[in-house]
Amino acid sequence: MKPDTTKTVMLLLLAVLFVTPPVAGAEPKSGYEYLQLESREMQDDDFMNPGMSAVESGAALFRSAGKNGKSCASCHGDDGEKLDTGNIAKYPVFSDSLGKPVTLQQQIHTCWTENLNNEPMKYDSSGALDLEVFVRNLARGEKVNVQTDGPLQPFWEQGKEIYHTRAGQLDMSCNLCHVNYAGMKIRANTLSQGQSNGFPAYRLKNGKINGLHSRFNGCYAQFRAEKLEPGSADFVALEVYVNSRGNGLEIETPGVRF
């Protein structure tokens, strides 16, 4: 980025963060509410929603035989009808065997390798995202219900701390945009609450399905902060906290977002 462009961006951020009055105490509000009408209509219509192609690709992977001849459908039904959609809405969940939280995508990775004997997939790779979109789409309409107490509490606290910690050359944090200034304008865009109930989501900005951890890194890039590895312990903890912020919102995957 050229120096003059960098200066302009920083001035715009300062204008938003220190001139515009903050919005406080807001109830959870889906990113859908911040979309323009045309984008809402795109999400609402499965024939128009470009994210539905990932659902179809995920369904094909779900039914495909692994190296041992089994498939996800062998256990969960051809259309995933044996999966508990209420449980899907609870992810990330605490794994007693691992002693830490597991995201929905991590659970998919485990089944992919341990139950089907397939080669591991990279976190937020296209195949992993397609499977996650397919599975989470089964729970569309279910209300997000992430546990915030019990064994998940220390990880929730860790995620909350990350969410509120300033980082990068711009000294920004997640909460500055998505809590203090949700609903305010930054350039031509409206800042949302940063809810994750539509993720993995199709982003109009880059024309593809985006995983939540990749979206976190997108924000870190805007902070000019060092990116983290998708699937890392810090990002899993951050997902615990971010998903819990949307408790009570309906799952919209695949959502359409900016």
Spell out the domains of the chain, with CATH numbers in brackets: 3-45+148-257 (1.10.760.10), 52-138 (1.10.760.10)
pLDDT at 21 over 60: no
User: CB of 32 within 8 A of CB of 140?
Assistant: no
Q: Which of 72, 174, 177, 219 is catalytic?
A: 219
Catalytic status, residue 177:
no
Over 80: is that where the pLDDT of 16 sits?
A: no
Question: Tokens 């209300």 identify what position?
Answer: 143
Please tell me the predicted confidence (pLDDT) of residue 188.
74
Q: Residues 243-256: pLDDT tens digits? A: 999 999 999 999 99
**Distance, first Cα to last Cα, the chain:** 22
In sequence order, what DSSP letters do the residues of 43-66 get, joined into one string?
HH-TTT-TTHHHHHHHHHHHHS--
> What is the reported pLDDT for 13?
53
The identity of residue 252, as a single letter, is E
What value does the mean pLDDT of the chain take?
92
Q: What is the pLDDT of residues 100-141, one digit of tens each?
A: 999 999 999 999 999 999 999 999 999 999 999 999 999 999
Q: Is the pTM of this model over 0.85?
A: yes
